[in-house]
Structure formats: structure tokens, C-alpha cells
Structure 1
């Protein structure tokens, strides 16, 4: 990956999921994606149906439950515009606790449905992709990671590799007190109806860092598209400027 001026890749060796530098983004990229990630997976009953820990094979985003070319049953979002987000964050965004951090949610752009560990139904817009990029990887540290992976990560070699590597790491359902980063902003690198690339700006005591999430529109919702090596995001890189990012202002 080629880094833009003002960024530097954190020089580290070893498997991507064991690199210490990823602790800067522990608040959202979870224990296997970022070492030290202590994000707690949302548990409990579904606010709509009361179901707990939706089985991957029966989930709302499984291939058998989604009509071809349509949205999953019960999924409604505001898809009126596909314009790339401007220099200000969406007006209806609120911040919801997720483990040791907070993630942005939107009544219009999603996720509009929550079923156990699955936060789903994102708008088919750049803003919907942005929110999915923040939220989906944040669910990967706890014991329900397989459900989220099956439902919200694009199938293929990358997902298989992620699953293999994730299975070697202990689940983390409770915070450990480690310092984590917070979301500071985002930028949409590219967008089309079937795919999107989103850069996330993180802030921690060490400063700012960025990483990139690739997504695909699949099964009527946004899903994370992993690299062939199983990584759900690009290597985290330190950055000295917030230029080019839409700042959340929190």
C-alpha cells in the first residue's frame, strides 16, 4: 500500500494481528485485528425480537434469507442520495457505547437493526458504508465473533484466513482496562453501488493514526471485505495532519 505524504507506517514485525502499534486502534478493531483490543461485543436480547446470539446460518444476512437484489426482511434505510459525505458529519449521528469505545450510529443511515451481536441494515450510500466500516470490525473480540464474521464479512479466502487466525486468539468479552483510541474522523476514498473504501482517523494519547476498510454491497447490506491474508483493514499508520478527513467533532 502506498502511504500519503505526512503518514508513516509503524515499523513492526510479526503477524499483523500481533503488532503492538495496532493498540492505538484497539477501541474499534478488536483483539485479533488489533492486539490489546478490548472491545466488548454487545450481548443481550434483540431490541426488536428478543433473540440472543443469532446463529450464523439463520441470521438476517444469510444468503438464503435475502431476496436476490433486495434488502433483508425488515431492513429499511434512507437511500435517497448517494452523494459522498461533505466536510461535515451527518446531522443525525449519535454515539453509542460498544465495549470500551463509542461508535457512530444514524437513524437514517444505520444500523437500523440490532440483533444480539449483529448491528445491521445500513443505507446503500457512502454514509452507510462509513458507519459499517466503524462498527462491523468492532464486534470481533468476543465469543460471538463467528456469527458476525459469517453474516458481515464477505465470503472467500480472506474470510477463511481471518477465521483461522481469529480461532487461535482467546475471546475477550470484558474490558481489560487497556488504553484505547477513539474515532476522530473519516474520509471516503472511493464509492460505487457495489463497493466502497473508507479511511478511518483514530486518536489516542500517542496522536493520530489512520487505517483503511474495504467494503462490498452483498446480500442487501454493507459487509467488510478482508484482504487475502485475513486482515479486515490496512496496516495502521501514524499521521500528523487531519487534512482531508471529515472530523466527528467529539
Structure 2
């Protein structure tokens, strides 16, 4: 599977401080594709993005009784599974323009607020996958209010979360766009009961495939995203020539 890569003098848009939370997901995906398309191609083979390094900026908060029991904070069941060999049978809802999976009684989101904020997922590989995808969908709405809650409630405490909260506080509502992106596949790169790395493949409305990794941690009875110290939520963004290596999974 071939991949075009930027030259050594170019920066991937997802590494820039401005792309902090997934509010910029769609625009960043398009920007990443645009940069890659117009740079010389090489013959390197695209490899799944490596697992993100452990966040050492702050220790995990003490587990609540629900977390200690392996149950989510809203009472969803846990699972002893450590992998997914096939796509889960999912019901999808549009969150903004992006489809997100939902199974409120078993996988999550177990809690959906009046403003549309979605949280509380099962302690399982499927729960981690659903959580990652719902984070991406929430952010793609461009809502400053939802992104502020996302930064405050769904990011692991530390320097990265502090940076994301600061960035979210300065956000303005995103304008409308004719461009959108939808998930088309996933790969769980690693999973333990406390950590998971979820690789999501998207197709933009321009027909390009890109993928990115969300690094997740189980804490306080829910899955939370581990951002980089500068607040960047996504890592390892790269264009894909096809979806080889990903399990097909899509709501649109």
C-alpha cells in the first residue's frame, strides 16, 4: 500500500498547534490530503501508525469504584475481549455531518446531554472504538461549546489537556463547508484494559482516504483521549491508497 509523504521541509497539518481538538478534523483531513497530493510521490509502503508513547505528563487519576470494577461510570458492562476480528454491528447517528456509532445500553454513548455531548462507553475494545469515533464526530461539529466539554471531560489530564482547554476557550463557531469526511474502517493497534490505540480510516467527500490514530486511556469509568503535550489529539495522519489493513466499518 503506497503512500505519498511530505518533504522534509513540510509539516503535517495535524502536528501544528492550531489543530488541537477534532473540531478541526474535517479541515485538517482535507489539508493533509491537499499537501500530500501536490508533493512528489515516493515508493515507501504505508504502515499502520505506531502506538503513541505513554503520557507521562500526569499520573492517572484514582479509579472510581465503577472503574475499578471494569464498568463504565454510567453502568455499561465490561468485557474480557482484547481484540476485534470483525466490525461490530452498529447503529449510526449523524453528529453534525459525521456518522457516529451508538448503542446506549451496551456499548455507548450511555450519556447524551441536551446539547448533544456524548460520553460514557463500555470497558471493552468495542467501547474504545465507539468512544474514539464519537470524539471525532463531536469535534467535527465545530461547536465551541461541545469542544470545550470535550477538552474538559474526555481528555486525559496533563499538559496536553491544559493546552486543549486553552485552545477551545478561544474557538469561534466554524462556518459551513461543502466538504465532509466519514469513517470507512478501523484497526485496533493495541489494547489492554487500561490503554488502547485506535486507528481510524476516513474517506473525504473528495474521494481521498486518510487515517489517524487516537490513543485512549481508561480512567474514571470511561475512555478518554491522550493528547500530545501541545494539545494535538490525532497522530500519525497519512494518506491511504486504499483500505487494505483496515476492517471495513461505516455508517454512510
TM-score computed with the length of structure 1 as normaliser: 0.72
Aligned to 1:97: 94
In 2, the alpha carbon distance for the partners of 1:192 and 1:132 equals 15
Aligned to 2:215: 214
In 2, the alpha carbon distance for the partners of 1:9 and 1:124 equals 36
Aligned to 1:124: 123
1:156 offset after TM fit, Å? 0.5
134-143 or 183-192: bigger deviation:
134-143
The count of aligned residue pairs is: 208
Query: For the Cα contact (< 8 Å) 1:195–1:215, is it kept in 2?
Result: yes
Aligned to 2:186: 186
1:221 offset after TM fit, Å? 0.7
Q: Deviations over 1:75-133 (max 9, x none)?
A: 132323323111x3112x11101001211123422112212343122111111101111
In 2, the alpha carbon distance for the partners of 1:12 and 1:156 equals 25
Query: For the Cα contact (< 8 Å) 1:197–1:214, is it kept in 2?
Result: yes
SS of 1:236's partner is strand
Aligned to 1:199: 199
In 1, the alpha carbon distance for the partners of 2:119 and 2:72 equals 10
State yes or no: 1:246 paired with 2:239: no
1:13/1:218 CA distance change after superposition, 3 Å: closer
Query: For the Cα contact (< 8 Å) 1:9–1:235, is it kept in 2?
Result: no
TM-score computed with the length of structure 2 as normaliser: 0.72
In 1, the alpha carbon distance for the partners of 2:165 and 2:241 equals 34
Q: Deviations over 1:39-75 (max 9, x none)?
A: xxxxxxxxxxxxxxxxxxxxxxxx89954625565x1
Query: For the Cα contact (< 8 Å) 1:105–1:111, is it kept in 2?
Result: yes
Q: Deviations over 1:14-33 (max 9, x none)?
A: 762557xx9xxxxx9323x5
Aligned to 1:171: 173
Structure 2, gaps ≥5 residues long: 30-60
Query: For the Cα contact (< 8 Å) 1:66–1:72, is it kept in 2?
Result: no
Aligned to 1:29: 22
In 2, the alpha carbon distance for the partners of 1:206 and 1:150 equals 33
2:109 to 108, 111, 121: 111
Query: For the Cα contact (< 8 Å) 2:82–2:192, is it kept in 1?
Result: no
In 1, the alpha carbon distance for the partners of 2:227 and 2:248 equals 25
RMSD between aligned residues: 2.9
In 2, the alpha carbon distance for the partners of 1:230 and 1:8 equals 26
